[in-house]
Amino acid sequence: MTAFMKKFMVGASDKMLLISIFIIGISGNIASDAAAVIVPSIAGAIFYATKRNPLVGIAAGYEAACAGFSANLLIAGTDALLAGITEEAAKTIDPSMVINPTVNYYFMVASTFILTIAGVWVTKKYVTPLAGPYTPIGEIKEDQNLEVTRAEKTGLSKAGIATLIY
């Protein structure tokens, strides 16, 4: 996780950082309700480490985790649950209808990106101005080791390959 954050988050622009947080938060429903606790905490820490207002990061992480509770880039457990509900509704029209858990996949993928765009817009337009400028209470401890090591790069590439295979 540290290597991922060093490689992709710390040097990211404000817009890319928000986009990343929203895609991760929206896709966090793979971890069920835990995403609503984990994503805001990590987003706040990333914003703090990059000298941005951590309250904006916490709000963006919470927005993302809650807004996209069923949207995702991968098939999740909620898809099987929603397929059962969809099947029961469809059987009122055609009793022989059988619904696969992947039936909503394209809608969920599209929803991930639509919710990301909407969330970034809301955060930039409303949340960031409401939070105001950030002035740290104390000094932010600088981590001088922000370079990703060879072992970390290898681990990231293997994790990426495993994700693609999944």
The domain segmentation of the chain, as residue ranges, is 2-76+105-136+145-165
Q: Tell me how many helices (H) and strands (E) the chain has.
A: 8, 0
58: enclosing H helix or E strand: helix 54-67
HSE, CB side, 13 Å, CA atoms: give it for residue 155: 10
**Which amino acid type is present at position 135?**
T
**Which amino acid type is present at position 91?**
K
At 72-125, the pLDDT tens digits run: 888 888 888 888 898 999 999 999 999 998 888 888 899 999 999 999 999 999
At 141-157, the pLDDT tens digits run: 665 566 777 888 888 88
Does residue 1 have a pLDDT over 60? no
At 11-66, the pLDDT tens digits run: 677 788 899 999 989 988 888 788 899 999 999 988 887 888 999 999 999 999 99
Q: CA dist 49 to 5, 143, 146, Å?
A: 10, 9, 11
What pLDDT is stored for residue 117 in this prediction? Answer: 96
Q: Provide the phi-psi class of 59: left if phi over 0, else alpha when psi is between -120 and 50, else beta.
A: alpha
